[in-house]
Amino acid sequence: MNIRVYQVNMSRDPNHIAFMNYESLPKFQGSSEIDSSVYDKVFEGDVNCTNLEEVYQMFNLNHPAGYKARSLSVSDVVEVIQEDGTRDFHFCDSFGFRKVAFEPDKCEISERFCSGEEKDTVSVLLVQAGKYPKLIEIKDSLEAMQALVGGDIEEYMPFEDEVAIICNEEGKMIGLPLNRAIYSEEKVDMRYDEMAQKFREAEKSGQHLNGYIVFTEDSFTEKYPLESRTYIVSSDNKAYRPNMSGYSVFGTSLDGTDKNVRLDAYMAAEKGGKDGWKIERCYIKEREMIEIIAGDFFICYAPISSEKFLSLTPDLEKKYAEKFRYPETFVRTDDGIKAIPYKPKTKDFER
């Protein structure tokens, strides 16, 4: 199939239709017509698929080499070019695809655009000792990966996401500098008032804390998946007041569809009242150091269904650039080795 893929550019999306299904369009923009001007073209080329469902599978589970945009999602548009030159446009809906009218001439070309002919590079996050992480393009070859880490490569997958750390398998043995610590994260459930108290204690001691609040399905008029109902909240924001947590609870849903929401205005446990959003559970993630990576390493997308490493999607790039944002120095204490983040004196790159 010869296709093109278009995705909403959220910086040009005044009605916030990104990730919204077709039936929701009138509610958000007053019409069910597709506004082509808010879309970017992110891919074009031939793919080894016979129908749209296979296209959906490919762009979610086994991205074409060099693909840099986010996985195919609800609100995306797929253009199919037939052998006779005719073109059809299909809106990715909650279930299946819907044929729509679309004007590609009104779209822009994404900075993450990929042509199906570009099959020799992959976009990875390079993490070097003493430096901020940076996104780079490397050749999709074993030799290029070995050169990047300075020796034979080792694949390490300690995270829930399908991403791999690619590092030098003999990094510690040959004395490469210690780079970043890897942590396991255990979910610890607690009541909302207990989490609020932990936030207050953390801030008073000069630390920051993240927590997660999951709201019940019946808190909303529509049925939302778990990631849409789960909001990450942090004491690390300008509005937070340790003694007034109920007046400064800002959160963002895990899937990114609802950002920087003043949750206390909606929560039944705060000012939302008896008809407000009800809490299903709250939890924090406690960290324990399980490994230290020695030498430079990079992070790539490594879905189980793929035989090769793939380019990071934008959401994964952002997540892991933040996770490994600061370089670390390592000291031995009575309780074991401790990693201390620091800001490099020279900022060659900061995300």
6-54 pLDDT, tens digit per residue, is 999 999 999 999 999 999 999 999 999 999 999 999 999 888 788 999 8
Residue type at 169 in one-letter notation: E
Sort strands 108-115 and 39-46 into parallel, antiparallel or unpaired: parallel
C-alpha span between 4 and 115 (Å, rounded) = 9
Nearest to 34 by CA among 107, 87, 111: 107
For residue 195, count CB atoms less than 10 angstroms from its CB and return exposed for 0-12, middle for 13-18, buried for 19 or more.
buried
Are 342 and 328 spatial neighbours (Cβ–Cβ below 8 Å)? yes
Are 135 and 123 spatial neighbours (Cβ–Cβ below 8 Å)? yes
Q: Is the dihedral of CA 331, 335, 339, 340 positive or negative?
A: negative
123: β partners = 137
pLDDT at residue 117 in the model: 64
Residues 6+ apart with CB under 8 A from 48: 58
**CA angle 168–68–295, rounded 5-degree value:** 15
SS3 string, the chain, reads CEEEEEEECHHHCCCCCCCCCHHHHHHHHCCCCCCHHHEEEEEEEECCCCCHHHHHHHHHHCCCCCCCCCCCCCCCEEEEECCCCCEEEEEECCCCEEEECCCHHHCEEEEEEEECCCCCEEEEEEECCCCCCEEEEEECCHHHHHHHHCCCEEEECCCCCCEEEEEECCCCCCCCCEEEEEEEEEEEEECHHHHHHHHHHHHHCCCCCEEEEEECHHHCCCCCCHHHHEEEEECCCCCCCCCCHHHCCEEEECCCCCCCEEHHHCECCCCCCCCCECEEEEEEEEEEEEEEEECCEEEEECCCCCCCCECCCHHHHHHHHHHCCCCEEEEEECCEEEEEECCCCCCCCCC
Residue, of 174 and 260, whose pLDDT is higher: 174
The token pair that represents 276 in the structure block: 């407000």
pLDDT digits (tens, 9 = 90+) for 143-192: 999 999 999 999 999 998 899 999 999 999 999 999 999 998 788 999 99
pLDDT at residue 310 in the model: 85
Residue 344: pLDDT above 70? Answer: yes
pLDDT at residue 153 in the model: 96
pLDDT digits (tens, 9 = 90+) for 122-139: 889 999 999 999 988 888
Phi, psi torsion values for 340, nearest 5 degrees: -115, 115
The token pair that represents 191 in the structure block: 């009541």
pLDDT at residue 347 in the model: 47
